[in-house]
Amino acid sequence: MTQLARPDPARSRSEPDLARPGPAAAAVQPATAVYSPPQTPAWRPVHGWVVVTACLVPVVLTGGWLIAGALQPASYSPMRQTMSVLAGQAGTDRWVMTAALLLVGGCQVATGAGLTAVRGPARVVLMLTGLSTLAIAATPEPAAGPTPRHLALAVSCVVTASVWPLFVPRRQPARPWIVSVYGCATATAVFVGLSCWLLIAARSGASDLGLAERLTSAVQGMFPLVVALALRQAAVRRQPAGQASARRSKSRRAAT
C-alpha cells in the first residue's frame, strides 16, 4: 500500500505568514531619519590685518592730536579748540594732523572693507565714516573759521560713527554680548549722548569743545576694534577641536 506523503510544514505555511516580517527582517530595515533643526551659522573669521587697521584708528588719531598740539604755540588750548584747527590753515605744522586724519580715514575704509564678519550695511556705513574723514583732511579749515562744507563733513563723520553699531547685530543670537542687539544699542546710546554734548558745545562755543570732540572721536573710533576682537575670538571658539589643535601645533612649529 502506498503511504500518503506527509505534508511539508514549510509548504503548508500560508502566504500572509510568509509576508509577515520576522525579527531578522526588522533588523535590516532602515532606521527612521531624525529631524534636526538647522544650525545657526557661525560668525565668519576676522583676519588679523583687519584688527590691525581697526587698532590704528584710535592710536593714530590720539597720537596725531597729541603731537600736533605739542607743536602749537602757547595760545592753543586742546580743551577749547578742535582738531580741525590743528589741521587747518592757521595751524602750526598742520601736516602732522592732516597726515593723521588721512591715515585714520584710510584705516576706517580698509576696516569696513575687510570686516566681512558683519553685515554689508554695517561695512558700508563704516566706509562712509572713513570717506568723511578723508574729505575733512582734504578740506582744511580756513583761518577765519570752519566753512559750511567742513562742518557738514564733520557732522557726517560723527553721525555715521554714532549709528554704525545699529547695523552690526544679526537676527540669530550672538554670543559676544557687544555685537548683540542690546550691546550695540547700548553703544549707540553712548555715542548719541557724546554727539549731543559735542553739538551743544559747538553751538554755544563752550570752553570744553575740544575735549568733547576728542573724547567723542576716540570712543567712537575704538568700537570697530572691539567688534573685530570679539568676533575674532568667537570664531576661534567655534572652530572644531581638530582645527584648533592643528592651528596650535602650527603656531608651535612657527615659534620654534
Question: pLDDT tens for residues 96-129?
Answer: 999 999 999 999 999 999 999 899 999 999 999 9
d(CA 225, CA 100): 18
d(CA 159, CA 140): 20
| The model's pTM | 0.75
Nearest Cα to Cα of residue 65 among 187, 217, 226, 234: 217
Q: Are 168 and 184 in contact (CB under 8 A)?
A: yes
Question: pLDDT tens for residues 129-149?
Answer: 999 999 999 999 998 888 899
